[in-house]
Amino acid sequence: MGNESINKVSLPLSQLRILSSLLLLSLLILPLAPWVFGDSSKDADVRAQAIALFAKALAVSDLRAPGSPPFEMRGTITVEQEKHRPAISGTYLLEWASPEKWREEITFPNYIHIRVGGKGQYWQSRTTQYEILPVLQLYEGLDFLKTLHIFSRPPAIAGLKEVKLHQKKDHGAKLDCVTLKDKGQNYCFDSASGMLVSVPWSQSEFSNFISFNGKYFSGSIRVNAPQSPAVTLSVNSISPLAATDDGDFQPPENSTAWPACDDPDNLPVVKSQAMPVYPMEEKMARREGAAFLYMVIGADGRLSNLAVLAAPDRGLAQSAFTAVAQWQYTPEACAGKPVPVEALTYVLYNLE
């Protein structure tokens, strides 16, 4: 392919979870030893410190842990546009009574998305057949709790080949960062509060934290993706849940049921990929950019409901579709059982 390159980055999107319980480790945060890059003699200590950072962030930010008081969260969603076009605005509402009783609504002009939680599952309805790109991106940011939950468990960290720690400053704030080398992932936490503030691998940034019931939730969740408008959730309020109508927690009309996992074992991981072919016409015309695709990763790791949501042109869209349709995943698992999830992936075409 000469100097041309096609970069494929998978962004797994799992369902919004209601996390069940915090590990006892989150209450026993280990004192941090001096930060080191780690060698064989210090590896166990480095891993213990990394687990403690994830556990502390989960403990201070999980508003939906079992036994937490009911609450209502309201926010504004902003989708930035290019070429000085006005941003698109939407609304976000979460009414949470318990891990098995909650309702989430996302609305944009001519679009509405509803999820209602129940025991071991949730029901979902939406205006479109496939999920729209801004909502998939939004869930990338909202699912940070699931990531914290997974890596606050010792087995998840123990299974990694290399874990490193470092510190840095951002706008005057001191950050403690964990790099999971074999996954190519880097997480940074505010040293003072313990809150997760950035996840570069998923382009998510967290700031303007709001206090509620002794915990803190990001008042601004911004998700950036290559060649796509940034999506930001600005939380306007978090308040005790007032009296609600029981009808709000009934399955929406024409909804579909999805498994809800309080304790996911792992995120979906690509285990085999077909390389997209850069179409000759697009190369000659020097057309570049990202093709974004919606898909469902089945319990068997195979893909279904594949659809191109955005692409620079038809040729690159077809190239991405043909390649991704052949991909296979190690599926997300809950208590050792694989479960289907909706997902977003993109293929980046770059001639440089």
Domain parsing of the chain, residue ranges: 5-9+266-350, 18-260
Amino acid 330: pLDDT: 95
Whether residue 126 is predicted with pLDDT greater than 60 in this model: the reply is: yes
352: pLDDT strictly greater than 80: no
pTM: 0.83
Judged against a pLDDT cut of 60, whether residue 20 lies above it is answered with no
The confidence score (pLDDT) of residue 203 equals 76
Question: What pLDDT sits at residue 124?
Answer: 97
Average pLDDT over residues 225-238: 90
pLDDT at 84: 79
6 confidence band (pLDDT: 50, 70, 90): very low
CATH architecture group of domain 5-9+266-350: 2-Layer Sandwich (3.30)
pLDDT in tens, 141-191: 998 888 899 999 999 998 888 999 999 988 788 999 999 887 778 899 999
Please write the tens of the pLDDT for every residue from 247-295. Answer: 889 999 999 999 988 778 998 999 999 999 999 999 999 999 999 999 9
Radius of gyration, CA atoms only, the chain: 21
pLDDT for position 201: 54
Between 38 and 188, the higher pLDDT residue = 188
Question: Residue 202 has what pLDDT?
Answer: 57
Q: Which CATH number fits domain 18-260: 1.10.287, 2.60.120, 2.50.20, 3.40.50?
A: 2.50.20
Query: Does the pLDDT of residue 10 top 70, yes or no?
Result: no
